[in-house]
Amino acid sequence: MSNGKLRERLFDRGVKAIQTIMAPQLFIDHPQVIDRYPCPICMRWFSRESITEVGGNSALTLEDVPPKSFPGRSTRLALTCADCNHGSGKFEADLSRYASTVSGSPTPVPVVVSNEAFAVNGYLHAGPRVQVELVRNNPAEFAKLIATAPGGSGSVTARITGRQPYDAAAASLALIKSGFVAVFAALGYSWVVSPSVGPVREMLVGALHSGRSPSIPPTMVVNESGATMDGRRLALVTRPVPALLAQFGRDAAVLPTFKSPADLYERLGGSAGSPVTFGLQPIAWPTAMKLAADFEG
């Protein structure tokens, strides 16, 4: 199916779902929202024209869950707005680097190449000859490096120091976002608009629209060290407290149910790294935008 046809199908499914769960009076009082699709993350309403590409871009975009750069299968499960989708690029890059690190895949080592005049990010590639690839993401610093080469020789003396391969908070944010969209695809807007989910949506919107990593509760992302990186699992957590679990490889986002307590993450206990034992009831992994709670109650 073409991307255009898939966007149209997902748009129609979302419109039907939101009309099913909202009171008819809403559409009488606010006719402008008729035939509108709410982005499941920020809940802004978009017209049908938003699925049409203009210059290769559209206001509503296909959301890959998990990002294509993550090991295993990725599925286009829903439409999200361009701000919520493209705003996650930085976070998804860190999630990809995290996945490469924990899966043992060969990956370049992030480094900083510097001296008294400049500091430029790069990657060290191991092999018969060690090579350093410089990243031109800071043009001002890169220009300083070029300027220090004596007589334009291209030769400079500099230090090479390691840097953290990924931002753990950013990687966690990307994982939480993928888990959120997976649960939305399975359950629908009824779950998204439930009061217990509101704080999670607010956290996601704040991060995705600003590019800044938020403060994430330590028990919002949990780890199963023996899991394979291409595994996927969706489950209802029955103990120690009701929650939802969306797992990608070794890590899982813990999200509220319709009626999770406000102190969900505090009640899950402890600090980062503390063992948590869950009672799990499997939920079918969504392969399409089912929105079961909207249509089945």
151 lies in the same domain as 219: no
255 lies in the same domain as 185: yes
Cα separations in angstroms, 72 against 52, 84, 133, 229, 230: 29, 23, 28, 7, 4
288 lies in the same domain as 267: yes
288 lies in the same domain as 193: yes
101 domain residue, yes or no: no
Instruction: Give rounded-to-5 percent helix, strand, coil for the chain.
Output: 40, 25, 40
188 lies in the same domain as 123: no
Nearest to 63 by CA among 181, 198, 200: 181
Q: At what angle do helices 168-187 and 89-103 cross, to 10 degrees?
A: 100
Residue whose token pair is 């899982």? 252
Q: Is 75 helix (H, G, I), strand (E, B) or coil?
A: strand
102 domain residue, yes or no: no
152 lies in the same domain as 53: no
Residue whose token pair is 């956290």? 203
240 domain residue, yes or no: yes
Distance CA 12, CA 19 (A): 11
Q: Burial level of 210, CB count in 10 A (0-12/13-18/19+)? A: exposed
Task: Judge whether 117 and 148 are in contact, CB under 8 Å.
Answer: yes
CA of residue 75 relative to chain centroid, distance: 13
Tens digits of pLDDT across the chain (297 residues)? 788 999 999 999 999 999 998 877 666 666 767 889 999 999 999 999 999 988 888 999 999 999 998 989 999 999 999 999 988 888 998 898 888 777 765 556 667 777 877 787 777 665 555 577 777 667 777 777 777 776 655 567 777 776 566 888 999 999 999 999 999 999 999 999 999 999 999 999 999 999 998 999 989 999 887 888 889 999 999 988 999 999 999 999 999 999 899 999 998 875 445 567 889 999 999 999 999 999 986
245 domain residue, yes or no: yes
Tokens of residue 180, six digits: 């959120």
202 lies in the same domain as 264: yes
75 lies in the same domain as 216: yes
223 lies in the same domain as 89: yes
| 52, β-bridge pairs | none
235 lies in the same domain as 196: yes
184 lies in the same domain as 279: yes
The parent domain of residue 150 ranges over 108-162
How many domains does one find in the chain? 2
Nearest to 95 by CA among 117, 72, 129: 72
157 domain residue, yes or no: yes
Q: What is the pLDDT of residue 192?
A: 97
128 lies in the same domain as 220: no
